Amino acid sequence: MTQRDLFEAHSIIPLAVLEAMRNLDSPSDEEVAEYVDELLKKRLGLSETVAAQIGRYEIVVRRDGPVRAEEAEQILRLASRRTDAALVFADGGRRAARHAVRRLALTTRWSARRLPRFLRRAVGFRASRRAAAEVFAATLARDGGATVALISHTLPVRATPDGAACAFFSAAFAELLRQLVEFDGAMTHSRCVARGDARCEWRSTLTPSAQGTR
The string of pLDDT tens digits covering residues 141-167 is 999 889 999 999 999 999 999 999 999
What residues pair up with 138 in beta bridges, in sequence order?
A: 151
Task: Give yes or no for a contact between 102 and 112, defined as CB atoms under 8 angstroms apart.
Answer: no
Check if CATH label 3.30.1890 holds for domain 8-211: no
List, in sequence order, the alpha helices (H) in the chain.
12-25, 29-34, 37-40, 48-62, 69-80, 85-103, 106-114, 117-136, 155-159, 166-181, 208-211
pLDDT tens string 168-203 = 999 999 999 999 998 999 999 999 999 999 999 999
pLDDT tops 80 at residue 54: yes
Overall residue count recorded for the chain in this entry: 214
Mapping DSSP to helix (H, G, I), strand (E, B) and coil, where does residue 17 land?
A: helix
Q: Over range 73-94, report the average pLDDT.
A: 97
Q: How far apart are CA 169 and CA 184, in angstroms?
A: 17
Q: Over range 6-20, report the average pLDDT.
A: 95
pTM comes to 0.88
